[in-house]
Amino acid sequence: MHERVIQHKYYLKKGTHHSVYFQRVFDKYGPEILVVVLYEGTIRTIKHIEQFVLDSFFEQSMNCSKDAVAPMSGRNHTEETKKKLSEYTKARIASGDFVPFRYAIGHDVSDKTRQKISTALQGKKLSPEHCEKIRQGKLKRGCTPNVLIAIRKVAASRVGKKRDPEIGKKISAAKKGRCSDKQRAALIEIRKNAGPMSEETKLKISKANKGRKFSDEHRSRLSAAAKSRKVSNFSNPEVQAKAAASRQCRLI
C-alpha cells in the first residue's frame, strides 16, 4: 500500500499520472491538497472498502473507473486507441524494453486452470488467415535479447530438478501413437528401399494432395531442397555410374 502511495506521488510530480482529472487538480492546487488515509487489512478487505467508497462517492471522486477490481469493466478502447497501443507495444518489443508474457515465466498453472483453458479451446479452429497472421507476427518479432535471457534463466533454474512422475505420465500419454524422430527416420528409410510405389498408393497420395495449394515461399523452399538433393545425389559415385549406364542405353 505504501508503494502505491509513492507511485501516485511520483507520477503526479512527474506530470504523467493516468488520471487526467487528478493530474489537473494536482497541477492547479499543488501537493498540499493530498490527504492520505491508509486502511489495514487483507487485499480482499481493502478492495471491498474501495468499492464501497466508489459506489457511494464516485461523482465526487477523481477515479476514472467505477470498478475497484477491474478498472476497464464496462469500458472499451476506441479503434484509434487500440492502434496506438499496438504500435507502442511493438516498438517496445523491437527495442528490447518489453518482454511479452514475462510475468508468466516460471509461473505454474494449476490443474483447474489448465482444464478451463483446454475446455475453452476444444473444437476451436483458427482460419488459415489467422494462422498466417500468427506466423508472420512470430517471424517479425523473433527472440529479443531479453526473451533469450529469460529463457536461459528458466532453463538454469530447472537444472538438476526431477520431473514429477504424474507430469511424466501425462506427457507419455499425450505422445502415445506418435512417431519419434528415430522411428520416422526408419520409416522413411524403409520407404526408400521398398522400391516403386504401387498404383493404389499413388492414387491415395494424389487424392490427399488434391486442392492443396502451397504458398510461393513454400514452393521456393521445396524447389531449393529438391535442387540440393539432386546436387548431393549426383556427387555420389554410384549415382554417377547409373547415370552413365542409362546414357549408354539411350545411345544404343
| Residues sharing a CB contact under 8 Å with residue 95, sequence separation 6 or more, in sequence order | none
Question: So what's the pLDDT on residue 252?
Answer: 47
Q: Which of 135, 126, 125 is CA-nearest to residue 218?
A: 135
Give residue for cell 462517492: 57
Report the SS3 class of residue 160: coil
**Residues 61-69, mean pLDDT to the nearest whole number:** 78
Q: Is 72 helix (H, G, I), strand (E, B) or coil?
A: coil
Mean pLDDT of the 35-42 span:
76
Q: What is the rounded CA–CA span in Å between residue 68 and residue 54?
A: 8
The whole-number pLDDT of residue 84 equals: 92
Alpha-carbon span 160 to 120, nearest angstrom: 35
Highest mean pLDDT among 49-63, 115-129, 191-205, 225-239: 115-129
Which grid coordinates are listed for 166? 504424474
Dig out the grid coordinates for 185 from the structure.
Answer: 527416420
Q: What's the sign of the alpha-carbon dihedral 113, 114, 119, 124?
A: positive
In the Cβ-directed half-sphere of 109, how many Cα atoms lie within 13 Å?
A: 11
- Which pLDDT score, from 0 to 100, does residue 156 have? 81
d(CA 118, CA 197) in angstroms, rounded, equals 41
Question: How many CB atoms are closer than 10 A to CB 26?
Answer: 21
7/17 Cα distance (integer angstroms): 9
Give domain limits for the chain. 2-57, 218-252
pLDDT digits (tens, 9 = 90+) for 74-131: 778 889 999 998 898 888 877 776 666 555 556 677 888 888 888 888 888 888 888 8
C-alpha–C-alpha distance, residues 217 and 223, integer Å? 10
